[in-house]
Amino acid sequence: MMSTLQISGNRIAYLELGSGEPVVLLHSSGSSGAQWRALAERLGARYRVIVPDLYGYGDTADWAGRRPFGLECEAEIVLALLARGTGQAHLVGHSYGGAVALHIASQRGDLLRSLTLIEPVAFHLLRGTDAPALAEITEVAERVARAIARGEYVAGFGGFVDYWSGPDAWAAVPADRRRVMAARLPKVALDFHATVNEPIRLEDLRSMAVPTLLLQGTSSPLPTRRICERLAHTLPDAKLTSIPGAGHMAPLTHRAQVNAMVMTQIDAHSAGGFRPSLIPEAASGTNVSCAAAMVT
C-alpha cells in the first residue's frame, strides 16, 4: 500500500517495506515506482526499501510550476524520505531515475553507502564531450516538444517509447493503455529539460567517491552508452558492466539479471556484510511487456 508525504504542498506517493539499511529505487521517465515491484519485494526481506513515484508519475502529483524545475526538485523527494530514518542509504536509479540519483550522489555523497546507475540519462554530461550523441538525443527531445505543441500526445509518446524500446514496442500496447501513457508526455518533456540543462559536468564528479555500479545494455541507444562510458572513466570508484543483447529498458526486459546485479552491489557494500542472494526470479519479459509495464 502506498504512503504519502507533502513537500512544499505537493503530494508525494511512495512504497516502503522491510527494515534495516535504507535502499531507494528510482524509476525511469514515463513509468512509476511500480517498475521496481519485484526487486523491492526481494530486497524487503533484509532492507528498508523506499520506492517513490517521481513528480507527475504514479500517484505523485504533477509538478506545480511555482519555480524552475530541475533534477534538484526530484532530489528533494529522496532527501525528505531519507530524513525520516537513520544511516547511509543504497541508491538505485534507472534512466531518468539514474540522472536524479547521480545528482544526489554528487551533492550528498555522505548520505550514501552505494550507488547503482542503470543507463542514467545524464545528457548534460555529453556537452562538450560527444556532439553526435548529444545531437541524437536533442532531436528526440525536440520531437517530444513538437508533439506537445501540436497536441499529438499519443504519437509523441509512441515515438519516445520506440526510441528507447524498439520500433515494435508502441504498436503492441493496447489502445486504452496508450491513452494513459500519452497523458504523461508533458512531464517527459520536463524530464528532458532537467537532464539536458543540469549544470554538473564530468569534471565535477572526479571526487565523488561513492562506490558505483554502472549497468548498460549492449543494444542501447548511443547517448546512454556514451554517458556510462564517460562516467566509468571519471568516477573514482566505479565499475561498468554491459548486459549482452539488452537495451535501455533492461530492468524490465532482463529483469532477473539486472535485479541480481543490483542486489549483489547492495550486499557488497552493506554494513551487515550480506552474501549475494541466490533466490530465483521469473524469466525476463519482452519489449512488448516492457512498454506495457510503464502503465502502472
Q: Which domains does the chain have, with CATH numbers?
A: 3-124+201-283 (3.40.50.1820)
**62: which DSSP letter?**
P
Other beta carbons less than 10 A from residue 150's beta carbon: 10
The residue behind cell 545524464 is: 122
| pLDDT in the model for residue 272 | 78
- pLDDT of res. 295: 40
Q: What is the pLDDT of residue 275?
A: 56
Listed as ranges, residues in the chain with pLDDT below 50 are 278-289, 292-293, 295-296
What are the percentages of helix, strand and coil residues in the chain, rounded to 5?
A: 45, 15, 35
Neighbours of 193 (CB within 10 A): 15
pLDDT for 294 equals 52
Contacts (Cβ under 8 Å, ≥6 apart) of 16: 3, 48, 49, 50, 51
Looking up cell 512504497, which residue turns up?
A: 15
The candidate with the shortest Cα–Cα distance to 115, out of 136, 134, 94, 130, is 94
- Residue 175 neighbours by CB under 8 Å, 6+ apart: none
* Residue 68: count of CB within 10 angstroms of its CB: 10
